[in-house]
A and B are shown apart, each in its own frame.
Chain A
């Protein structure tokens, strides 16, 4: 867990980004543009407020997306914490030794300024995302 020292954001699975975002905007948060992400076939937007951890809203695009399963099983809910890492391959290898399993090879994400991301799963922690600096 030595790589997990800086949180990038908390990811929420939502059905309707604009609908959920409006509630936050009413509370003084600002919203990024909405990204059409092909990695997991999702729509993504970020919510910001000074002094607060960034929130990522993720909704499924048309067609199949892993977010569909989260919404089906849990409803609208937070489902991952994303951590910033220096070297994504080194972090993956070290986290793997600690029981995390990567869901796919690191890929560039347009929602993260084309920085490389990867999701990992641990039976006793759940899902995390890592993003390379």
Chain B
């Protein structure tokens, strides 16, 4: 799956979880610049990704994810 395909499928999930209907996925998105990116919303987002895309993040990998860029890079590896 390409990065563009991932972003296309991931965008509506992110918009719903973070309650931002106009959210555009860019690498720098994080809790620092999305006010609804709470720690619990972030965990809900990662859970939704696993359910939608059919893979599971490793625990140590998950603990290092901080930005949308980190998530997209990890997803590219899992879905290659």
Q: CB within 8 Å of B: which residues of A?
A: 66, 69, 92-93, 96, 99, 101-105, 119, 121, 123, 127
Interface CB pairs A-B, < 8 A, 5: A66-B40, A101-B43, A102-B63, A103-B43, A121-B40
In the complex, residue of chain B having the shortest beta-carbon distance to the beta carbon of A64: B31
In the complex, residue of chain A having the shortest beta-carbon distance to the beta carbon of B43: A121
Does the CB pair B38–A105 fall under 8 Å?
no
Does the CB pair A105–B63 fall under 8 Å?
yes
B46 close to chain A: CB less than 8 A: yes
| Range of interface residues on B (Cβ < 8 Å) | 10 to 19
Which A residues lie within 8 Å of B46 (CB)? 101
Which A residues lie within 8 Å of B62 (CB)? 101-102
Which B residues lie within 8 Å of A104 (CB)? 63
